[in-house]
Amino acid sequence: MSPHGAVSTRTKVAVRAGALTGALSRLTGRGAGATISGRVINEIAPHALDELAIGLRVALVSATNGKTTTTKLLAAAVRTLGEPVATNHTGANLTSGIAPVLAAARKPGLAVIEADERALAKVVEPLAPELLVLGNLSRDQLDRYGEVHAVGAAWRRIAEAHPDLHVVANASDPHVVHAADPARTTWVALGLPWRSDAATCPVCARLLDWGADRFHCPGCGFAQPETPNRLDGDTLVLDGTRVTLDLALPGRWNRDNAALAITAAVSHYGIDPQVAADAAAAVDTVAGRYMRVPLADGRRARVLLAKNPAGWSEVLQWVHDTGRSVVIAVNARAADGKDPSWLWDVPYELLRGLPTAAAGERCLDVAVRLRYADVEHIVEADARRAAPRLPGDEPVLICSYTQFSALYRKYGDPRA
């Protein structure tokens, strides 16, 4: 690492090599080039992140669900300050995805960076963020990563090591509350519809008592923190100020994401709440999430990404409420998680009475789960062939990660 905060010759060479590798990846059609570019940078210059963050005021956003969207909403709000803002808008949230963003950033300036929840501890020290935004913690790909408690413990070590770090955090998630408590935290109560991963106290392991919208541990007294900031339906209340969330993005889960982003914009950057809310309202797609893709019959289908039981539950509730036709497209590759047993934790019963198709490489696993849920359905492995067989103006394709990625590569706007 170079002295006096300068970018070393080694890092400069690494950035050039990474850029060339990324360009070759795009030219040969192997990928968008961002991840391989970052791998080259980090391999050649192990301290590249430390040096590339010089001159940037960094905010890090992390969660199991919603971190890509929260990052985009916060970046949109921060841009109203009129300063340069760097962000990893494609959702590449490991060190390999972060390095090229920092290398291309205008300095001095701001950076709003999404970090994978398991990688957060690896990037806090080199990036020296002034703000952390923490959403939820739930099960995700247990065949690849550890239990929720392990991730929460890693987050807490960050807060203990940096007690003066400003954190904006979800006050309704016990794992997040325990993790963020040692830091200088601004809480916002969002509610926690998915509580299956928050049954026990992260302090003493007793079963938590859940009220309508609060948790409390009868054993050690650990409880949801009091806060003047809360989400009330489609209204965000910030210390008495009420801001309506008129989002282009669908679903209750995106109101949660927006509430976190706007709270961070107001409490940390001093942005007017309505200005931040207006910036969030202008966002209508996030790295391909919610994009519309053409079908063979001339209609278009709405694409949603769901990666774990908590996310699937939110999306299925939205489909249930809107009454749309739906294709459930599931793969079980490494990026999806090879174990599809999570299908049995998802409330597919919400789809009863709705035109439904089982699709993806694991369409038969999906079909069995739908049958046990008493959901009438068709089976067609190709999601875009399944959708035209369903009625409605705009069927919904709910996709696991690799199903979604294939559609995004073909139809998505890389700037989204």
Burial of 233 (0-12, 13-18, 19+ CB in 10 A): exposed
Q: What is the DSSP string of 37-104?
A: HHHHHHHH-TTHHHHHTTTEEEEEEE-SSSHHHHHHHHHHHHGGG-S-EEE-TT---SHHHHHHHHHH
pLDDT of 145 over the 80 cut: no
The chain-wide mean pLDDT, for the chain, equals: 93
CA 112 to chain centre: 13
β-strands 109-114, 131-134 pairing: unpaired
If pLDDT is split at 50, 70 and 90, which confidence band does 416 have? very low
In a domain, 91, yes or no: yes
Which carries the bigger pLDDT value, residue 145 or residue 244?
A: 244
- Which sign does the torsion angle of CA 371, 310, 279, 57 carry? negative
If pLDDT is split at 50, 70 and 90, which confidence band does 23 have? confident
In a domain, 44, yes or no: no
Q: How many whole angstroms separate alpha carbon 349 and alpha carbon 311?
A: 15
For 375-412, write each residue's pLDDT tens digit. Answer: 999 999 999 999 999 999 999 999 999 999 999 888 87
In a domain, 208, yes or no: yes
Which structural domain range is residue 215 located in? Answer: 53-281
Q: What is the DSSP string of 329-386?
A: E---STTT-S-GGGGGGS-GGGGTTS-EEEESTTHHHHHHHHHHTT---EE-SSHHHH
For 185-210, write each residue's pLDDT tens digit. Answer: 999 999 998 999 999 999 999 999 99
Same domain for 166 and 232, yes or no, is: yes
In a domain, 20, yes or no: no
CATH at residue 299: 3.90.190.20
In a domain, 316, yes or no: yes
Domain boundary among 281, 309, 329: 281
Q: Tokens 């009475």 — which residue?
A: 353
pLDDT of 47 over the 70 cut: yes
pLDDT of 9 over the 60 cut: yes
Same domain for 197 and 343, yes or no, is: no
In a domain, 18, yes or no: no
Percent of the chain at pLDDT > 90 equals 85
In a domain, 236, yes or no: yes
In a domain, 227, yes or no: yes
* Cβ 257 vs Cβ 167: under 8 Å: no
Residues paired with 398 in a beta bridge: 304, 328
Same domain for 307 and 217, yes or no, is: no
If pLDDT is split at 50, 70 and 90, which confidence band does 413 have? low
The CA-based dihedral angle spanning residues 10, 11, 16, 19, taken in that order and rounded to the nearest 10 degrees: 140
Q: Based on the structure, what is the number of domains in the chain?
A: 2
Same domain for 316 and 266, yes or no, is: no
Same domain for 167 and 246, yes or no, is: yes
Check residue 366 and give its pLDDT: 98
Phi, psi of 58 (to 5 degrees): -100, 135
CATH at residue 90: 3.40.1190.10
Overall pTM surpassing 0.85 (yes/no):
yes
3-state secondary structure at position 168: strand
Same domain for 140 and 214, yes or no, is: yes
